Amino acid sequence: MIQQIEASPDEIYDIELEHSLLEANAKLAQENRALLDHHGITAIDVMGAIGSGKTTLITRLVEGLKDQIGVAVFNGDATTSNDADLIASQSVPVVQIATVKGCHLDANLVGKALRKTKLDNLRLIFIENIGNLICPAEFPLGSKARVVVVSVTEGPYMVRKHPHMFLGAQLVVINKIDLAEAMGVSVSELSEDVHRLKPDITVIPTSCKTGAGIDQVNSALLAV
């Protein structure tokens, strides 16, 4: 079942980041977190560029978890429901968050999605952020952990070009490793780039095609 909410015009924030706006967002993020904590739910914010494989990764992770624990997915997308439809095929609750012109999710929209969701019996909520490696970093949502998904198809410099995304993350997934050789991209060099920015962060290489790394990601997420 897919529910849907949409940003109304007064909720579409400009990319110009005013201090008061970020403060308001941070306060709402704290409220989201308090609500989640009250219900014993861990929310995971999944960030990454368009095409990094966020949706497919979430689908695989859900596949491995849904028989053991209650899982729901909030799917941020500008306008379409393609991704939400794909995830809903896993028979878990999905809320599609259409940001319309917004280029990131914010705590207000996530709060609205939380109010749409039956929180009893949930243990994990995946929040798929908008495909963008810049401003989502500025907007905490109330999640317990932020995951950045970077794919070998994005070339060798994705990590270096977006330090803020990685500095704010608790877990990094290097996705589509089955394509690394064809792309001429080194998984270990991408991993080293991440560790240069944040030495103690966990980096897990994955392939949604072969299933490599999926169980490790789930174990890491259940441990946060």
Residues that bind Zn ion (CB under 5 A): 103-104, 135
Decide: is 45 part of the binding site for Mg ion (CB under 5 A).
Answer: no
Among 48, 61, 73, residue whose Cα is nearest residue 172: 48
Query: Does 151 help bind Mg ion (rule: CB under 5 A)?
Result: no
Q: Among residues 45, 83, 106, 193, which is the contact residue for Mg ion, using CB under 5 A? A: 83
Question: Residue 135's binding partner, choosing from Mg ion, Zn ion, none, with beta-carbon cut-off 5 to 8 A by kind?
Answer: Zn ion
Q: Among candidates 195, 171, 221, 200, which has minimal Cα distance to 60?
A: 221
Pick between residue 83 and residue 106 the one whose CB is nearest to Mg ion. Answer: 83
Region binding Mg ion by CB under 5 A among candidate stretches 5-13, 54-62, 87-95, 115-123? 54-62
| d(C-alpha 194, C-alpha 206), whole Å | 15
Report the partner that residue 103 touches, choosing among Mg ion, Zn ion, none (CB closer than 5 to 8 A by kind): Zn ion
CA 94, 100, 104, 107 torsion: positive or negative?
Answer: negative
Phi, psi of 44 (to 5 degrees): -120, 120
Whichever of 24 and 86 has its CB closer to Zn ion, that residue is 24
Q: Which is nearer to Mg ion, 87 or 220 (CB)?
A: 87
- Among 55, 117, 129, 175, indicate the residue that binds Mg ion (CB under 5 A): 55
**Min dist. Cβ of residue 56 to Mg ion (A):** 8
Q: Alpha-carbon distance 120 to 202, whole Å?
A: 30
Structure tokens at 166: 């990685």
**Residue type, position 28, single letter:** L
Contacting positions for Mg ion (CB under 5 A): 54-55, 83
